[in-house]
Amino acid sequence: MTNAQTPTVTLIRGDGIGPEIADATLRALEAAGATLRWDEQIAGMEAVSRIRDPLPAETIASIEKTRVALKGPLATPKGEGFRSVNVALRQHFDLFANVRPVATWQGVPCRYKDVDIILVRENTEDIYAGIEHYVGPGRSAAESIAIITKYGSERIVRHAFELARREGRKTVTLVHKANILKYSNGLFLDVGKHVAAEYPDIAFNDMIVDATAMKLVLAPEKFDVIVTMNLFGDILSDLCAGLIGGLGLAPGANLGANAALFEAVHGTAPDIAGQGIANPSALMLAAAMMLDHLRMGESAKRLRGAIARAVADDRTRTRDLGGKADTKGFTDAVCEYAKG
Ligand code: ATP
């Protein structure tokens, strides 16, 4: 039952496997006792085919109003002139912090034990600022410009420290390539060191990105909270997802001062769309992060606990994680555990 206190959330089911995993997630949320109002909107290819616009004004207006969105994966139309809808949404709402937690799950086959990392990626600057063009005659060369600002660096590093404090984490590792990119990455590192000094209760270190990649593979359990710039964050977050068995269990939150958007880290998985075999866990876990954001922590806990039980058993775990279940079988199990 809804009442005046019930939060309204913009729902974008998305493309490819999006509608299947969104349906599964709505069922799981209901079973976990999360009462929400949904304002359903479209984006991506569905919006292109319906109204020839991958990011309709109505969708933007809905998020401006609700300030919270749950989003399935979106495909970017192919060809020149189309920007990634995901990037456009992040930039429009200035969702500067991309928070991607990864942790080992009991029963899920993977190479490591005890991984528990929160990766905090700056989401609006760096090479993703969209400053790219051809130079020289006949498209013989091209350049992409990475923008790093003091303002952007400060707010993302502060976000990482605040999160570390809130979550009872011990260490923040700032990842960069300041030995080569002395200006842009040097600025990020300098600002990071200043911010770190304000948090004496949290240990701080910095690490070059290539060394980080190696250490993450050798000893991922040594990492706690990682904060980094946009491109390194993009790459390292997929690496981190690989540490725990793949993209199937990797949720992401995109947070700004005025809006928050929760999504799975994986894409639209067109190779398995419509087959009823997609793993909805990542979107369900993103929904749990959303419940925490909405101060519905009790339902978030129930939902996470139910997912943990369903992925621990290979009869109810989906096939991408070495199990035997399809989307419905897994979701049925999550709902049963969440209700119980
Ligand atoms: P996009 O172009 O949207 O990024 P993609 O196929 O290039 O799509 P992903 O969607 O991330 O990238 O998929 C990578 C691989 O992981 C694919 O083989 C896909 O089937 C698989 N995959 C991704 N998400 C899931 C999921 N939720 N359940 C099962 N398999 C998945």
pLDDT in tens, 240-254: 999 998 888 999 999
Nearest by Cα to 71 from 224, 235, 259: 259
Please state, as a whole number, how many other Cβ atoms lie within 10 Å of the Cβ of residue 174: 27
313 alpha carbon, distance to own chain's centre: 25
Give the tokens for residue 162.
């605040």
The answer to whether the CB of 263 falls within 8 A of the CB of 72 is: yes
The predicted-structure confidence for 159-169, as pLDDT tens digits, reads as follows 999 999 999 99
Give nearest CA residue, ligand 1 atom 19: 269
Q: How many angstroms separate the alpha carbon of residue 282 from the centre of ligand 1? A: 12
- Overall average pLDDT of the 286-301 stretch: 97
Cα 84 from Cα 263, distance rounded (Å): 15
Q: Which atom of ligand 1 is nearest to the CA of 269?
A: 10
- For residue 83, is pLDDT > 80? no
Q: Is the CB of 44 under 6 A from ligand 1?
A: no
Q: What are phi and psi of 103, to 5 degrees?
A: -145, 150
Computed on alpha carbons and rounded to an integer, the radius of gyration of the chain in Å comes to: 20
- For residue 50, is pLDDT > 60? yes
- For residue 281, is pLDDT > 60? yes
- Of 72-76, 130-134, 253-257, 321-325, the poorest mean pLDDT is in 130-134
- For residue 4, is pLDDT > 80? no
The catalytic site residues sit at 128, 177, 210, 234
Give the pairing type, strands 260-264 and 251-255.
antiparallel
Give the pairing type, strands 141-147 and 116-122.
unpaired
The predicted-structure confidence for 161-201, as pLDDT tens digits, reads as follows 999 999 999 999 999 999 999 999 999 999 999 999 999 99
- For residue 337, is pLDDT > 90? yes
Q: What are phi and psi of 50, to 5 degrees?
A: -85, -45
Q: Is the CB of 317 under 6 A from ligand 1?
A: no
Instruction: Give every strand in the sheet of 203-208, ordered side by side.
Output: 37-41, 8-12, 68-71, 260-264, 251-255, 97-103, 116-122, 225-228, 171-176, 203-208
Q: What is the pLDDT of residue 1?
A: 56
Q: What is the pLDDT of residue 139?
A: 87
Give nearest CA residue, ligand 1 atom 9: 267
Q: Is the CB of 73 under 6 A from ligand 1?
A: yes
Question: Does pTM surpass 0.95?
Answer: no
Q: How many angstroms separate the alpha carbon of residue 276 from the centre of ligand 1? A: 14
